[in-house]
Amino acid sequence: MSSESDPLLLEISDLQVEGFSEDQWHEIVKGVDLTLKRGEVLGLIGESGAGKSTIGMAAMGYAKPGCRIKGGSIKFNGIELTTASEEEKRKLRGSRIAYVAQSAAASFNPAHKIINQFSETVIHHGLGNRKQAYADAKELYRRLKMPEPDQIGFRYPHQVSGGQLQRAMTAMALSCRPDLIIFDEPTTALDVTTQIEVLVTIRDIVRQYNTAAIYISHDLAIVAQMADRIKVLRYGDSVEESATRDMLSNPRENYTKTLWAVRTFKKTVKPPDPQPAALVKVDDITATYPGASLPVLSNVSLEIQRGETVAIVGESGSGKSTLAKVITGLLPQDKGQILYEGVGLSSKYRDRSSYHLQKIQMIYQMADTAMNPRHRVRDILGRPLKFFLNLRGNEKEKRLRELMEMIELDPDKFLDRLPSELSGGEKQRVCIARAIAAQPSFIICDEVTSALDQLVAEGILRLLDRLQQELNLGYMFITHDIATVNAIADKVVVMLQGQVVDQGAKDEVFAPPQHEYTKLLLTSVPEMDPEWMDRVLAERAAKGGMKAAGY
Amino acid sequence: MSNILRILFQRLALGLFTLFIVSLIIFMGITLLPGDAAEAMLGQSATPDTVAALRVQLGLDLPPHTRYFNWLLGALQGDFGTSVGSGQQISSLIGTRFANTLFLAIFAATIAVPLALILGILAALYRSSVYDRVVNVVTLASISMPEFFISYILILFVSVKAGWLPSLANVQTGVPFLVRLEMTLLPALALTLMSVAHMMRMTRASIINLLANPYIEMATLKGIKKARIITHHALPNAWAPIVNVIVLNLAYLIVGVVVVEVVFVYPGLGQLLVDSVQRRDLPVVQAACLIFAATYILLNLFADIISIVTNPRLLNPK
């Protein structure tokens, strides 16, 4: 055992982790080295499948079910975790090394109160009784700037918002004052305006207690705020590692450069139509979910023209997706009208004509769940061809191949695949082809790139843009990601709590932002600058803080 | 809280509606059978005139819907009419029989439910171990054998060869409680063997299913012991499916005991049903079916209520 003064807290060398799937073991992590000093924060960055989370969990001597640590050494505080007994590792977990997961909503047990899940760790490791744990929890909740710190712990997880839960989980990780905390994408599931608040509290509390941390994220701009040092991973291997400032100013590897060279794509802005004619017009829509007392949308009006992309921006719960439901007729409105080429549409999709159903199509965020897993690509694309266009036999086959060419997938290779045999980007392409198959003139894209890695997402955006030019399509592009909006939008509609707070041409709305909420949204997007968070905080403090702005 | 009350009320209303539909089906089914109570009472040698006269006397000449509502109204007040075979009031005939069936079911359940829960939790805890496999094979084997076969095997070994327990369970009223327990232990064991497998496997599956949840991984990463993870983190969230399968089996214990009761000559409702079918005592068959259906619906309603009140999201609304 080494002493507390040993500067090296964690030393991982030649770590190899394997996962079992399709009857064989695959390498997930291929010999990664990593060291961490006491009180130091290391950022792990990479795309999905880079092995970030796997390495983070391995630092606790843990491998997910179906995975195993195959080789290498993991030394925590001088203890070799690869050979330690389960009981030894159990005693370290929670007390010396703690974990903060991506989705706090899923990681809190729904059956127990938040504060009891906090105190459980303390009591279970024999570090205090319930009363002491409760007192400490309240103190930490206060330091993490949670509202009503003395009472909030006595609620159940589903009674607390995502941002507050994420703080509660950070508090839980701190309950035993561990030496090391693994933060696994702790803000990825949060809205941008909430994200910055949580990031600030995490950073401050880690500094206050001088806790070492591994901060895992796919977003370099966020890691840059949090980490002293950054390690870039790809395909389970390390690409490069250096101090945060050096990494940002002078990346050595090409792959690292591509990580922030993303969003190079920028749509060519067309001159505005001299005689604008609305393709789809949303006229003063108010809508309420069945059984709810308050409307989710109030007096929403906007217009989308042929060949134009209108981005709907807003945080979760702002009513973006609900608007899509009203336009497609899935949720009948209380008031107002949806017009397609000047013709009022029925509020229920069942009462709409086949022509209108065909002309308005939708693409979803989760390509996975939007396709029947047992249908082949041929069947998925074939259905709209048969249903809307009545194509059969050779004609259908010819059109299927055309569609595949349009989405840049080889028909010979892909037509007979199942969704499970496609990558995330390929699945989304098939979903796009399914929408195009109906020969629509208007497509609603609901967060279509949110579940994809940056480079893949960029490919999808380019594809959508090309299709728009070829087919003169109107897009309503729902997203919470400002970078995506910048890349693809002609016009922007900003929504907040079911209302349109700001809309207009992209440059009018964004450069510079006029409306307070648009400003808040834009300044909350992390920038590739380690000073960004401090700068924003200072600016907001100077203006009396964002709370004062009323959001 | 009002939310819960509303859901409970909805379930109750739905249960009553189901019962109404079932009563209709029972009545129609019985009416569609060839022959009726009048023919059964008078036997094959009766003249058409006497049969017709008896029909008028029994009210069987009335149109079906009138008979149905008369029957339903009577049943609601606890009056199921009189037995064709014995001329007794059906309600008093069924009363003791149903009490006997309930006694046997409760007896079997007090053995089977705790046994199944413990076996299931242990099987989830020691997943893929030798213990897990043995328990699975044994319970599956016992559920795969027909009830009468298990019953006769038990009789053969436990009472005929070993002589530990009586083979007949023909209890009379007024038998002391302990003697009653001894007499009914063998049928109760047979029922236990039939129902444990289901409940145990469901307990195991629900818990294992829950173990894939992120909050279980979180508990592991908090350094919580495995046994506590199962009892504190998995079980509280597993009640809904477990209670459902327990109740389904309780319903089986009450409704599905017909064969076991016949084998052990146990004077329960199931045996009465079989006897009445043989005697073409249709009013009794009708009443027994309705009681079975009501029990079934009531138990499932109970399962629904349990799964609602163990759901923290419903108990503690935002």
Kindly report the nearest CA distance between residue B219 and chain A, in angstroms.
9
Percent of chain B with pLDDT over 70: 99
Q: Which candidate from B221, B232, B237 shows the least CB-CB separation from A110?
A: B237
| pLDDT confidence band for A406 (50 / 70 / 90) | very high
- DSSP string computed for A256-285: HHHHHS-----PPPPPPPSS--EEEEEEEE
Give the C-alpha distances (Å, rounded to integers) separating B115 from A257, A333, B260.
Answer: 62, 54, 20
If pLDDT is split at 50, 70 and 90, which confidence band does A205 have?
Answer: confident
pLDDT of residue B202: 86
Q: Quote the percentage of chain A above a pLDDT of 90.
A: 55
Residue A6 has what pLDDT? 60
- Return the pLDDT at A410: 92
Question: Picking from A172-181, A303-312, B288-297, which range would have the lowest pLDDT averaged per residue?
Answer: B288-297
The structure tokens 């003169």 sit at: A472
DSSP E strands, A360-437: 360-363
**What is the rounded distance in angstroms from the CA atom of residue B77 to the CA atom of residue B71?**
10
For residue A103, list chain B residues with Cβ-Cβ distance below 8 A. Answer: 214
- Compute the distance between CA of residue B91 and CA of residue A551 in angstroms, rounded to an integer: 68
**Consecutive H or E run containing A134:** helix A130-143
CA distances B179 to A10, A303, B188, Å, are: 69, 84, 14
Residue B89 sits at φ, ψ, to 5 deg, of -65, 130
- Contact A345/B at CB under 8 A: no
- Segment B91-107 mean pLDDT: 87
* Chain A residues with CB-CB distance to B236 below 8 A: 109, 111-112
Cα distance from A125 to chain B (closest Cα, Å)? 8
> Residue ranges of the domains in chain A?
1-96+212-260, 278-527
Q: Which of B215, B220, B221 sits opposite A108 (nearest CB)?
A: B215
Question: How many folded domains does chain B comprise?
Answer: 1
Write the CATH number for B217.
1.10.3720.10
Enumerate the residues of chain A whose CB falls inside 8 A of the CB of residue B318.
Answer: 158-159
Q: Which of B11, B16, B8 is nearest to B314 (CA)?
A: B8
pLDDT at A318: 87
> Which of the residue ranges A221-225, A298-302, B125-129 would you say has the lowest mean pLDDT?
B125-129
User: How far is Cα A499 from Cα A320, in angstroms, rounded to an integer?
Assistant: 10
pLDDT, mean of residues A118-128: 94
Mutation target for A interface from B218, B232, B307: give the one with most A CBs within 10 A: B218
Query: Which of the two residues, A258 and A457, has the higher pLDDT score?
Result: A457
Q: State the pLDDT at residue A551.
A: 45
Per-residue model confidence as pLDDT tens digits over A229-245:
999 999 899 999 999 98
ipTM of this predicted complex?
Answer: 0.78
Q: What is the DSSP annotation of chain B?
A: -HHHHHHHHHHHHHHHHHHHHHHHHHHHHHHHSSS-HHHHHH-TT--HHHHHHHHHHHTTTS-HHHHHHHHHHHHHTT---B-TTT--BHHHHHHHHHHHHHHHHHHHHHHHHHHHHHHHHHHHHTTTSHHHHHHHHHHHHHHHS-HHHHHHHHIIIIIIIS--S-S---PPTT--HHHHHHHHHHHHHHHHHHHHHHHHHHHHHHHHHHTTSHHHHHHHHTT--HHHIIIIIIHHHHHHHHHHHHHHHHHHHHHTTHHHHHHTT--SHHHHHHHHHHTT-HHHHHHHHHHHHHHHHHHHHHHHHHHHHT-HHHHS--
Give the pLDDT confidence score for residue B169 in this predicted structure: 77
* Chain A residues with CB-CB distance to B214 below 8 A: 101, 103, 106-107
| Most confident of the ranges A323-327, A520-524, A542-546, B268-272 | A323-327
Report, as an integer, the average pLDDT of B26-52: 78
Distance CA A483, CA B108 (A): 65
Tell me which of B279 and A99 has the higher pLDDT: A99
The whole-angstrom separation of Cα A179 and Cα B188 is 57
Confirm if A179 and A97 have CB atoms less than 8 A apart.
yes
- Domain hosting B146: range is 90-315
Residues of B in contact with A120 (CB under 8 A): 222, 224, 232
Domain A1-96+212-260 matches domain A278-527 at the CATH topology level: yes
Give the integer Cα–Cα distance in Å for A516 and B83. 83
- Per-residue burial over A155-177, b if 16 or more Cβ lie within 10 Å, else e, is bbbebbbbbbbbbbbbbbbbbbe
CB crowding A236-255: b at 16 or more within 10 Å, else e: bebbebbebeebbeebeeeb
Per-residue three-class SS string for A478-521: EECCHHHHHHHCCEEEEEECCEEEEEEEHHHHHCCECCHHHHHH
Asked if B239 and B226 touch (Cβ cutoff 8 Å), the reply is no
What number is the average pLDDT over the span B252-265? 83
From A110, which residue of chain B is nearest by alpha-carbon distance?
B312
Backbone angles phi, psi at A286, to 5 degrees: -125, 135
Q: Is residue B109 part of a domain?
A: yes
pLDDT of B61 higher than 50: yes
Q: Is B114's Cβ below 8 Å from some Cβ in A? A: no
Which pLDDT belongs to residue A2? 42
Nearest to B222 among A64, A121, A159 (CB): A121
Residue A61 has pLDDT above 50, yes or no: yes
Please check whether residue A110 touches B, CB under 8 A: yes
Would you call the peptide bond into A512 cis, given omega within 30 degrees of 0 as the criterion?
yes
Q: Which two tokens stand for residue A317?
A: 């719960």
Q: Is B128 on the interface with A (CB under 8 A)?
A: no
Of the candidates A95, A106, A112, which has its C-beta nearest B214's C-beta? A106
Chain A: give the shortest CA distance to residue B235, in Å: 10
Beta partners for A366? none
In this prediction, residues B172-176 reach a mean pLDDT of 77
- Within 10 Å of residue B311's Cβ, how many Cβ atoms? 17
Chain B closest-CA separation from residue A270 CA (Å): 47
What is residue A547's predicted lDDT score, i.e. its pLDDT? 47
Question: Could you tell me which CATH number the domain at A1-96+212-260 has?
Answer: 3.40.50.300
Residue of A nearest to B215 (CA): A107
* B residues 216..245 contacting A (CB < 8 A): 217-225, 228, 232-233, 236-237
Residue of B nearest to A93 (CA): B223
Average pLDDT on B224-232 reads 89
Cβ contact (<8 Å) for A62 and B221? yes
Q: What is the mean pLDDT of chain B?
A: 84
Contact B222 A120 (CB under 8 A): yes
Domain boundaries A278-527, CATH class: alpha beta
